[in-house]
Structure 1
Amino acid sequence: MVAPDARLGAQVEVEPGAVIYAGSRIGTGVWIGAGAVVRSGTELGDDCVVEEGAVLGKRPRLRPGSAAAGQEPGPLVVQGGVTVCCGAILYAGARIGPGAIIGDQAQVRERATVGAGTVVGRGSTIDFDAQVGERVLVQTGVYVTGGSVVEDDVFLGPGVMTTNDHAMSRHPRGEPLQGPVFKRACRVGGGAVLLPGVVIGEEAFVAAGALVTRDVPDRAVVMGVPARVVREVPDEDLIERWR
């Protein structure tokens, strides 16, 4: 079903069972799979692919006093060439950069940003107000908590878990939450856990399964529970050698 006042560009294909709500703006050359839902106000750029069962522009449902509450999220904006895979959910107010891939059953929450060429793996969540840069690789089952900052060229291995609330909800209402900061080109191995507000330095390397409780210096290799510096990332492993 396509609402009469939805705006569709040329060569848009809408498969049976897809629903495009009033006020949506769909660019040229877009393919929308069966059962996908495009909510009111969503802006979808040229040459995007929206696979079966994906939901674009979902409004958040929050309990009273939720820390995720903030300014009105506004419309979802998806730039050109993005692929939204089966069952993924993109919330109102999120912004997805050109050429990004949002994997099966992944979520990008309200006011979060995902940069150009970034891949968000299957079942991963980019939570409210998180900022994810360009060419970031987010593997399967990663949780990027609200308020996190992920700079360009970062690698987050499968099952990485981030946190943003030391008090676990026992803090004054309205107190801002701060997720970790991942500086440019750092790498975090599978199953690592990062506590609120820690900074992972440029080109740093966090080993699989580490528990990061404090800032990690630029180019440091850390491992263990809690994570400790064991050596420096060698020159031959810097990202400039691998572009």
Structure 2
Amino acid sequence: MVMIPKEINIGKNVTIKESVSIGNNVTIEDNVYIDDGCIIRDNVTIKKNSTIGARCILGEYLVDFYENHTEQNHPLTIGENALIRSETIIYGNNEIGDHFQTGHRVTIREGAKIGDHVRIGTLSDIQGHCEIGNYVNMHSNVHIGQKSIIKDYVWIFPYVVLTNDPTPPSENLVGVIIESFAIISTGSIILPGVHIGEDALIGAGAIVNKDVENEKVVVGNPAKPISDVRKIKNKVTGESIYPWRYTFDRGMPWEGEGYTSWHEKCTNQHQESE
């Protein structure tokens, strides 16, 4: 059985499986697939060509619902071509771009603004009021504290934690900032207010309590700089590997073209449009 109210806009070629509950003021665009047992709460927009896995909750209640069990107006927009895997929970008051993907059982709290081509791995937890850029890749079991800012093309590997409370427990939250093309390796902990520079590389298991300059490699507890990323070699080929955008392109907008050529083309197009 599917519960569909009158106040809903459904596009063409939409598939809604069994035991799906859909709230009011919901828009489901063309070619959307919603699997068994999903809950789509009020004020949710799912854009075209998206797939919602089984038992997901979209537009989950914020804390104000529990005052009198009345749903407030907290819209959620999910962009085109999303793939949201089973048992993911995304709260209201979120804006998510195109080509978004999650693993299973991801939680995204309210107040997040997420760009295009973002991937968030299984069991990761985005604690709301965050800004996440384009082409950000997070692996499994990542925790992103409130007020974090993650710029474009950042890689965050499993079991990374971005913290935000300098004197816990307190109300004085200070988010981490990670600049574009930075890499945060497995098991790292980034302490509140730390600023990670562009193209920086945080080694596995590092505890980072100070700002990291552009293109620096830091390791250890507490993390200390040991090198420039340009000195790091591929352990298999012996070739220079960083900045990684010149040597890796899978899933990137410059795939098959190379970063330099792609960047020059984008720059020329921008100048021509001005």
TM-score with structure 2 setting the length: 0.81
Cα shift readout 1:206-232 (whole Å, capped 9, x = no counterpart): 001000000000000000000000000
Question: How far is the alpha carbon of 1:99 from its aligned partner?
Answer: 0.3
Is residue 2:243 matched to residue 1:238?
yes
2-side partners of 1:118 and 1:73: how far apart? 26
Q: Which residue of 2 aligns with 1:223?
A: 219
1:159 aligned partner, one-letter code: Y
1-side partners of 2:23 and 2:194: how far apart? 41
**Bigger shift: 228-237 or 81-90?**
228-237
Q: 1:138 to 1:59 in 2, by over 3 A?
A: same
Q: Secondary structure at the match of 1:230?
A: strand
Question: How far is the alpha carbon of 1:4 from its aligned partner?
Answer: 2.1
1-side partners of 2:142 and 2:114: how far apart? 14
Is residue 2:216 matched to residue 1:184?
no
2-side partners of 1:73 and 1:211: how far apart? 40
Question: How far is the alpha carbon of 1:169 from its aligned partner?
Answer: 2.4
Of 199, 202, 206, the residue aligned with 1:206 is 202
**Equivalent pair of 1:221/1:229 in contact (CA under 8 Å):** yes
1-side partners of 2:24 and 2:182: how far apart? 42
**Equivalent pair of 2:176/2:195 in contact (CA under 8 Å):** yes
Of 190, 193, 197, the residue aligned with 1:197 is 193
1:17 aligned partner, one-letter code: S
**Equivalent pair of 1:145/1:164 in contact (CA under 8 Å):** yes
Task: Please show how residues 85-164 of structure 1 align to structure 2 within 5 Å.
Answer: 85-164=85-164
Q: Secondary structure at the match of 2:217?
A: strand
Q: Which residue of 2 aligns with 1:52?
A: 54
Cα shift readout 1:177-198 (whole Å, capped 9, x = no counterpart): 2211010000011110011010
2-side partners of 1:219 and 1:208: how far apart? 16
1-side partners of 2:26 and 2:73: how far apart? 16
1:215 aligned partner, one-letter code: D
Q: Secondary structure at the match of 1:240?
A: helix
1-side partners of 2:119 and 2:229: how far apart? 24
Unaligned 5+ segments in structure 1 are 65-71
Structure 1 segments of 4+ aligned residues over 4 angstroms from their partners? none
Q: Secondary structure at the match of 1:164?
A: coil
Q: Secondary structure at the match of 1:237?
A: coil
2-side partners of 1:208 and 1:110: how far apart? 29
Q: What percentage of aligned pairs have identical amino acids? A: 26
2-side partners of 1:203 and 1:135: how far apart? 15
Unaligned 5+ segments in structure 2 are 67-71, 231-239, 250-274
**Bigger shift: 99-108 or 231-240?**
231-240
1-side partners of 2:75 and 2:91: how far apart? 9
2-side partners of 1:222 and 1:73: how far apart? 44
**Equivalent pair of 1:73/1:111 in contact (CA under 8 Å):** no
Greater helix content: 2
Q: Which residue of 2 aligns with 1:12?
A: 14
Cα shift readout 1:19-52 (whole Å, capped 9, x = no counterpart): 1112111111100000011110001101110010
Question: How far is the alpha carbon of 1:239 from its aligned partner?
Answer: 3.3
Q: Which residue of 1 aligns with 2:24?
A: 22
TM-score with structure 1 setting the length: 0.91
- Tell me the number of residue pairs that the alignment of Structure 1 and Structure 2 aligns: 232
